[in-house]
Amino acid sequence: MKTEIKKNPETIRRHRTRRPRYEVKPCTQGYDVLVDMPGVNRSGANVTLEKGTLTIEGNVTESVPEDWRSLRRELSTSDYALKLQLNVDVAGDAITASTEDGVLTVRLPIAEEAKPRSITID
């Protein structure tokens, strides 16, 4: 008996984007944003800041042999997208980002003009 699995266009999942899990933590210079994006490497991540909105996008890259075929698949391969409205002024030119073990860390330093300062009274 020969069995063949046919792809039904109605049951094929379309490539989609989902919101990743994230955490915002205060640090000495400002804030760290840690974003879980498994399957996203450094070249697949994109971080932008525009008009107080931090946008983080990640494209998942799969490396499977060309002739690879699965009988059943429960792993999702969706890309990631996250938009955060910042309620503090950050130094846009000093933002840094790094990735390690599927976690993207974005360091957001507070802008000098937004830092608290002591004012002398005359």
Sign of CA dihedral 6, 11, 14, 15: negative
User: Looking at residue 23, which CATH number applies to its domain?
Assistant: 2.60.40.790
How does pLDDT run across 66-106, given as a tens digit for each residue?
787 877 777 667 789 999 999 888 888 899 999 998 899 99
Look at residue 92 and tell me if it is in a domain. Answer: yes
What's the pTM? 0.73
Please give the pLDDT value at position 98: 93
Look at residue 4 and tell me if it is in a domain. Answer: no
Look at residue 117 and tell me if it is in a domain. Answer: no
Look at residue 21 and tell me if it is in a domain. Answer: yes
Please give the pLDDT value at position 10: 45
Strands 53-58 and 79-85, by their bridges, are antiparallel
DSSP structure string for 18-34: EPPPEEEEE-SSEEEEE
Q: How many domains does the chain have?
A: 1
- Domain span including residue 108: 17-61+76-112
Please give the pLDDT value at position 40: 87
The pair of three-digit structure tokens given for residue 15, joined into one six-digit string: 């490539």
